[in-house]
Amino acid sequence: MDFEELQNREYIELDEFNDIELIEGYNELIELHKYEGMIAVHDVLLQLNEKKELECINYRNDFMFLIDEHDSGEVYPLLVKNK
């Protein structure tokens, strides 16, 4: 792919990406991207928690912020709070 074309706002032929998931390392790259995003969200939640910004939420012990991956059944708790 010529990235100069992208800068010139030319259209990308999507047919060349039909089997992108078959490229070696694709799944690992997707997992890395997913976890990097979760770490970033977790860091923001920790900062909000340190500043007591989450205290306005009416919660009980073991309150959790969760990310649920669509159609996979995977659930990731990002912050667990107790009173």
Q: What is the pLDDT along the chain (83 residues), one digit of tens a residue?
A: 566 666 666 666 767 778 888 889 989 998 899 899 989 999 999 999 999 998 888 888 888 888 887 777 888 888 888 87
Q: What is the pLDDT of residue 2?
A: 60
Q: What is the pLDDT of residue 9?
A: 61
Residue 1 lies in a domain: no
Q: What pTM was estimated for this model as a whole?
A: 0.65
- Count of domains observed in the chain: 1
Residue 2 lies in a domain: no
Q: What is the pLDDT of residue 55?
A: 87
Q: What is the pLDDT of residue 77?
A: 85
Give the C-alpha separation, 72 to 67, whole Å. Answer: 12
Residue 5 lies in a domain: no
Give the C-alpha separation, 16 to 14, whole Å. Answer: 5
Of 65, 68, 62, 38, which is closest to residue 53 (Cα–Cα)? 65
Residue 37 lies in a domain: yes
